[in-house]
Amino acid sequence: MPDALSIPDMIAGFPLEMDREGNWCFQGAPMVHEEVVALFHQSIAGFRDGAWWVQMRGQRFPFVPEDTPYLVFALQAEAGAGGGEALRLTLNTGHQEPLDPATLRLELNGRLYCSTAVAERTGFRKSAYLRLADFIEEESAEAPGRYVLALGGRRWPIRRADEPAGAR
């Protein structure tokens, strides 16, 4: 009987993959066990060389994200400071924080991102994006293709990737 391979040995030739919605695959097969998937999301680590890892029990398992590995999985409206409305983000890592509307940006790939305490570039799962879309309006009839987040009585411009921060 051959020696049993360690998990790192098995994964070395078959990196894990995560699609832009946060779905995990191993050797091309979807991972569907909810507790395992949640553990993988909670164990994401990145390093200076740009490689991504799931780090568990002192071991690192490489994975390849299709896009950013940090995603907003859920978004809920809540009362904000001063009685206005605020949006609370729940990330795939389990971390929760309020959305900073000033960090929203539309990148050249057509996807919306924001900055969070976990990552400068945090994407939105479709379900969270659709919830966020309830608060997005066109800036004006004179500015087609420019959008704002209407929240708590304010209109926050959503910056496009091709314009510098603070341009609007």
Q: What is the spatial distance between Cα 107 and Cα 124, in angstroms, rounded to a whole number?
A: 12
Amino acid at 26: F
75 and 32 inside one domain: no
Domain boundary among 38, 65, 92: 65
60 and 29 inside one domain: yes
48 and 77 inside one domain: no
Domain boundary among 29, 50, 65: 65
* pLDDT at residue 2, rounded to an integer: 45
Q: Domain containing 33 — which CATH number?
A: 3.10.540.10
In a domain, 33, yes or no: yes
Q: Which pairs count as long-range contacts for 159-163, CB under 8 Å and 24+ apart, including other chains?
A: 159/104, 159/105, 159/106, 160/105, 160/106, 161/105, 161/106, 161/107, 161/108, 162/108
* pLDDT at residue 82, rounded to an integer: 64
Please give the model's pTM, rounded to 2 decimal places: 0.84
Per the rule left: phi > 0, alpha: psi between -120 and 50, beta: everything else, 133 is alpha
What range does the domain containing 80 cover? 71-160
Read out DSSP for 68-97? -S-EEEEEEEEE-GGG-EEEEEEETTS-EE
* pLDDT at residue 117, rounded to an integer: 96
91 and 110 inside one domain: yes
76 and 151 inside one domain: yes
Please give the structure tokens belonging to residue 166.
Answer: 């603070």
Q: Which residue stretches of the chain are H helix?
A: 7-12, 34-42, 126-133
- At 7-52, the pLDDT tens digits run 555 545 557 899 999 999 988 899 999 999 999 999 998 766 778 8
78 and 156 inside one domain: yes
User: What is the tally of structural domains in the chain?
Assistant: 2
82 and 143 inside one domain: yes
Please give the structure tokens belonging to residue 111.
Answer: 């996807």
Q: What is the spatial distance between Cα 68 and Cα 59, in angstroms, rounded to a whole number?
A: 22
* pLDDT at residue 152, rounded to an integer: 85
In a domain, 143, yes or no: yes
Q: Measured on CA atoms in the order 16, 65, 116, 87, is the torsion positive or negative?
A: negative
In a domain, 147, yes or no: yes
Please give the structure tokens belonging to residue 157.
Answer: 């411009």
